[in-house]
Structure 1
Amino acid sequence: MARHIVATVDEIPPGHRRLVSVNGREIGIFNVEGEFFAVSNRCPHEGASLCKGRVVGLVEASEPGSYQYSRRGELIRCPWHGWEFDLRTGKSWCEPDRTKVRSYDLKVESGGALVEGLLQAETFPVVIEKQFVVVEV
């Protein structure tokens, strides 16, 4: 599996996202309270640019009129039809057994480890003092 440097940690602050292109694939990188997740930019329902949708949390009700809001910032809502996908797993909240957006392994690695290894960053500068967000495709 090839590894690609897509950004520095500082370039995607908590609550933000960045759309990147890796080997012709558009991938959304999301920072959820310091944890990074990567999903395909294509909604599996009808092909919308998924990463242009709202990042939301989970609303649950134990009984009518009693609502709890949890998992703040962990779901992405498709801008076309409102389907929601879990940024951690890619699973759909509409059809979890049948529909899933492609998710990618994502790691935060120190700049020093990347400089010393076989990876070469051609489009992003490698600065040893920073940490890089690396996506595996």
Structure 2
Amino acid sequence: MEKVWVAAKDEIVEGTCKIVKVKNAEYGIYKVKGEYYAWRNACPHFGAPVCKGVITGTRLPSLVYEYKLGRENEIVRCPWHGWEFDLTTGEHLVDPQTKLRQGKLVDMTNADQESLEKAELELREDGIYMWV
């Protein structure tokens, strides 16, 4: 694996995403509650550019006719079909079995793979590095 500089720390602000291209793949870098996360920019549903989706919160479990919203800036919503993913775990909010994948690159032609790749980040004084 190789370490590649991808951004200065101050470029990544809570509630925003910086999309970077590393070795012919796009990744979205996020900051959630002071921690940095990077996910491959391909939704497991149809390969959509998920990192270009809205960063938002979501509806929390609540009683009938009661609508509680929360988790602001912790959720990304795919721009094509609205699938929502937890930016800290990669899990799909409706089906926890569908989540962003840690590890190898995802072959989006394989219908059995319903997850994305998590990129490992390293924070240093001079910026954020990604291991690829």
TM-score by length of 1: 0.77
Which of the pair has more CA radius of gyration? Answer: 1
Secondary structure at the residue paired with 1:48?
A: coil
Structure 1 pair 91/100, CA: closer, same or farther in 2 (3 Å)?
farther
Q: Note the residue ranges of structure 1 that are not aligned, 5 or more in a row.
A: 112-131
1:135 deviation in Å? Answer: 1.6
Question: What residue in structure 1 maps to residue 20 of structure 2?
Answer: 20
1:34 deviation in Å? Answer: 2.7
* Equivalences for residues 1-137 of structure 1 within 5 A: 1-98=1-98, 99-111=114-126, 132-137=127-132
For 1:77 and 1:70, the matched residues in 2 are separated by 14
1:62 deviation in Å? Answer: 2.3
For 2:60 and 2:81, the matched residues in 1 are separated by 20
Percentage of identical aligned residues? 39
- Per mean C-alpha deviation after superposition, the further-off stretch among 60-69 and 77-86 is 60-69
Aligned length: 117
Deviation string 1:9-51 (CA, Å, 9 cap, x unpaired) is 1122222211001111100011224321100101110011111
Secondary structure at the residue paired with 2:97?
A: coil
For 1:100 and 1:31, the matched residues in 2 are separated by 20
1:89 deviation in Å? Answer: 1.7
TM-score by length of 2: 0.79
For 1:105 and 1:58, the matched residues in 2 are separated by 26
- Per mean C-alpha deviation after superposition, the further-off stretch among 93-102 and 49-58 is 93-102
RMSD of aligned Cα (Å): 1.6
Deviation string 1:51-110 (CA, Å, 9 cap, x unpaired) is 111011131132112232222111110001000111112121233214332222223211
4+ residue segments displaced more than 6 Å: none
Q: Return the structure number with greater helix share.
A: 1
